[in-house]
């Protein structure tokens, strides 16, 4: 519980109104999750810095989220402070255009991947078409090293600006960034845990019609192979080395398996979907059921790609 005194002081630190006891379900693509004690849309790096200092000084639990497209929030929610970027933290800025046609672009972490991709196509910049159809923010995409169709964020990131309680603002170059399969592994923990505030990308000069048709082709492939109707968080499990989680789940005969309102998608077995009124508990139980059955049948223990709050 956030005391009344802390509520008043917290309210003084923010540009936008704090949303108290705010349901988190609308902030996730799963559409699942209880309330956050406080939900704050952060509009500047200075505000973010003030807030993380305040929550830490007052021992309030806190968590930063993006657009919630890779997130399962528990049914009882989160008693502390949930931070996410607001509109002013979503700008795109061209940094440099080289004679060879390459460009450097700085993207504020709250920008959606879709908006950035549209901007790239509009300006004839190539390199991000793999991301067509991936929801989420640039910050979340960098943290997850989001990828598809042979491309990923690590392949286009040149540098990132980050903020942590222990080290303040830092600029990390690509060689300092340890990206792995669906993760950025040197984010840090505790007071050193870094929030990504902006990402610099290196792109190439492309041709609008080619870029557009590449994006359309990627989106069409998604439409064919992924559930359209039910809410979900994308691929639920990471692919084990040399295999695919979807193949293993399907081979275990689990397509269509349900736990309450959660179901293994009939379209793509690696998608756990919310059929309408699923709780986080339903998804969690289904996750466990899938993990155990696949391990029993194949000897492979799947680990979730989805993050938990
Ligand atoms: C229909 C669908 C299809 C998808 N397809 C793909 C796909 O093809 N490939 C793929 O890789 N993913 C896919 N995803 C998953 C998801 O879209 C990506 O992982 C996305 O990049 C997550 O971004 P987000 O802003 O939603 O992050 P969130 O889900 O909000 O957060 C994910 C994690 O990142 C952390 N985080 C978020 N922003 C920041 C920040 N600025 N600084 C530090 N930490 C941060 C959060 O704390 C959390 O731990 C799909 C999801 C859906 C719903």
In this prediction, residue 20 carries a pLDDT of 97
* Whether 182 is catalytic: yes
Average pLDDT rounded to a whole number, residues 217-244: 95
The model's confidence at residue 97, banded by pLDDT at 50, 70 and 90, is: confident
Give the pLDDT confidence score for residue 132 in this predicted structure: 97
pLDDT band at 96 (very low <50, low <70, confident <90, very high): confident
Please report the DSSP string for 25-91 in residue order: GGGSSS----EEEEEEEE-SHHHHHHHHHHHHHTT--EEE-SSSTTEE--TT-EEEEEEEE-GGG--
Is 90 exceeded by the pLDDT of residue 273? yes
Single out the residue of 37, 35, 36, 34 nearest to residue 6, CA to CA.
Answer: 37
Query: How many angstroms separate the CA atoms of 239 and 241, rounded?
Result: 6
CA nearest to 93, candidates 114, 110, 108: 108
Q: How far is the CA of 18 from the centre of ligand 1 (A)?
A: 24
Q: Which domains does the chain have, with CATH numbers?
A: 4-88 (3.30.43.10), 90-225 (3.30.465.10), 231-308 (3.90.78.10)
Helix pair angle (45-57, 4-13), 10° resolution: 160
pLDDT tens string 108-136: 999 999 999 999 999 999 999 999 999 99
**Residue of 29, 49, 61, 66 to test ligand 1 pocket, by largest number of atoms within 8 Å of CB:** 66
pTM of the predicted structure, to 2 decimals: 0.96
pLDDT value for 101: 72
Q: Which residue has the higher pLDDT, 97 or 269?
A: 269
Residue 230 has φ and ψ, to the nearest 5°, of: -95, 145
pLDDT at position 100 over 90? no
Task: Enumerate residues 6+ apart whose C-beta is below 8 A from 173.
Answer: 158, 159
Nearest to 107 by CA among 182, 159, 172: 159
Q: Is the pLDDT reported for residue 26 higher than 90?
A: yes
Helices assigned H by DSSP within the chain: 4-13, 45-57, 113-122, 138-144, 208-225, 245-251, 280-298
Distance 10 CA to ligand 1 centre (A): 27
Percent of the chain with pLDDT over 70: 100
Atom of ligand 1 nearest to the CA of 227: 1
What confidence score (pLDDT) does residue 102 get?
Answer: 82
3-class DSSP state for residue 151?
Answer: strand
CA-closest residue to ligand 1 atom 1 = 234
Q: What residue ranges line ligand 1, CB within 6 angstroms?
A: 29, 64-71, 109, 134-137, 139-141, 143-144, 146-148, 182, 195-196, 232-234, 307
Task: Round to whole Å and give the CA distance between 80 and 55.
Answer: 9
Q: How far apart are CA 134 and CA 129, in angstroms?
A: 10
> Whole-number mean pLDDT of the chain?
96
182, 214, 222, 258: the active-site residue: 182
Among protein residues, the one with the nearest Cα to ligand 1's atom 49 is: 307
Mean pLDDT of 293-301: 98
């Amino acid at each position: 519980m956030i005391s009344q005194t802390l509520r008043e002081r917290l309210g003084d630190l923010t540009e936008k109104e704090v949303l108290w006891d705010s349901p988190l379900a609308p902030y996730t693509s799963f559409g699942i999750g209880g309330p956050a004690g406080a939900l704050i849309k952060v509009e500047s790096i200075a505000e973010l810095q003030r807030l993380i200092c305040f929550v830490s000084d007052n021992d309030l639990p806190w968590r930063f989220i993006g657009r919630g497209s890779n997130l399962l929030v528990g049914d009882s929610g989160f008693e502390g402070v949930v931070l996410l970027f607001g509109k002013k933290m979503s700008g795109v800025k061209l940094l440099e255009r080289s004679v060879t046609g390459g460009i450097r672009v700085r993207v504020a972490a709250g920008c959606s991947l879709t908006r950035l991709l549209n901007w790239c196509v509009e300006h004839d910049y190539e390199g991000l078409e793999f991301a067509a159809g991936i929801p989420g923010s640039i910050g979340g995409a960098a943290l997850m090293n989001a990828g598809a169709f042979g491309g990923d964020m690590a392949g286009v990131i040149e540098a990132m600006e980050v903020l942590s309680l222990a080290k303040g603002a830092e600029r990390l170059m690509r060689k300092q960034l340890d990206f792995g399969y669906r993760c950025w592994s040197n984010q840090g923990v505790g007071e050193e845990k870094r929030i990504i505030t902006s990402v610099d990308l290196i792109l190439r000069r492309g041709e609008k019609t080619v870029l557009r048709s590449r994006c359309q082709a990627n989106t069409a492939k998604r439409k064919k192979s992924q559930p359209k109707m039910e809410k979900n968080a994308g691929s639920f499990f990471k692919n084990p080395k040399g295999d695919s989680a979807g193949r293993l789940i399907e081979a275990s005969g689990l397509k269509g398996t349900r736990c309450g309102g959660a179901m293994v998608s009939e379209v793509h077995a690696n998608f756990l979907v919310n059929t309408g009124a699923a709780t986080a508990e339903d998804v969690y139980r289904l996750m466990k059921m899938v993990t155990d059955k696949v391990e029993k049948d194949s000897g492979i223990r799947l680990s979730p790609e989805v993050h938990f709050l």
